[in-house]
A and B are shown apart, each in its own frame.
Chain A
């Protein structure tokens, strides 16, 4: 029996294209049907905006317009475009409800979830909470509730967050991204060999997986 194809994904919960890319990747795998190779997915931390406060008072438009000096009309236009692409991927983004925050603790929770074998469930829960439900993913209490939603023990999740014992793992992921030359996310590493940057269309992911599976078969033959 062959080992699963490893998919390492660098992403940030606050990255709209990471959630869209996640859906595209999943669609790419699903489109292969019975021909889909066995895969193992692992999420890695990438903090897009380390200087973001945990409690930012204002909307996403406020953040980009006031803190980044972008024209409000331009921000509105961009958010509408992202919302449209997300909708095409089956995601109901709500930027009016979105609560902009620092995602460091969310990344720590993702590492805790990995140690418990529920990282994929939590990644989906956090993305959904942030982009479609307007939940605050920077506060410990909210993260604990989301962890429980993902099937994790709430008390253990709280301990993991309050102790900060996964902080080093988060920084290690970020450092690894830097060593790999990863400047933007989402970034997918397929089988430790191929790099896929961005929210690529589903068929791109399907084609890469098919290629990798074929290479493996060729190596075995």
Chain B
């Protein structure tokens, strides 16, 4: 099982009212937390976010 298939609780974070994450701090949207390990591609390495290989 991957992180993307883990907890699916949906909570929201009002990014405009003190966001907990750097990504959310600049977002005008209310961020849906969802599964915290859901995969995202950033830059040109996009397989395991947060891994030591991400650049």
Interface, chain A (partner B; CB < 8 A): 12, 15-18, 20-21, 48-49, 51-52, 64, 68, 70-71, 74, 78-79, 81-82, 84-85, 88, 180-187, 189-190, 193-201, 203-204, 207-208, 211
Contacts and interface: CB of A to CB of B under 8 A. Distances in A.
Nearest to A63: B44
A193 B33 CA distance: 14
A187 B49 CA distance: 14
A48 B46 contact: yes
* Secondary structure class of chain A's binding surface, majority of residues: mixed
Contact of B49 (A16, A20, A88, A184): A184
B28 interface: yes
A15 B27 CA distance: 21
Interface of B: 2, 4-5, 8, 10, 12, 15, 23-32, 34-35, 38-49, 51, 53, 55
A203 B27 contact: no
B45 to A, nearest CB: 6
A68 B45 contact: yes
Nearest to B19: A181
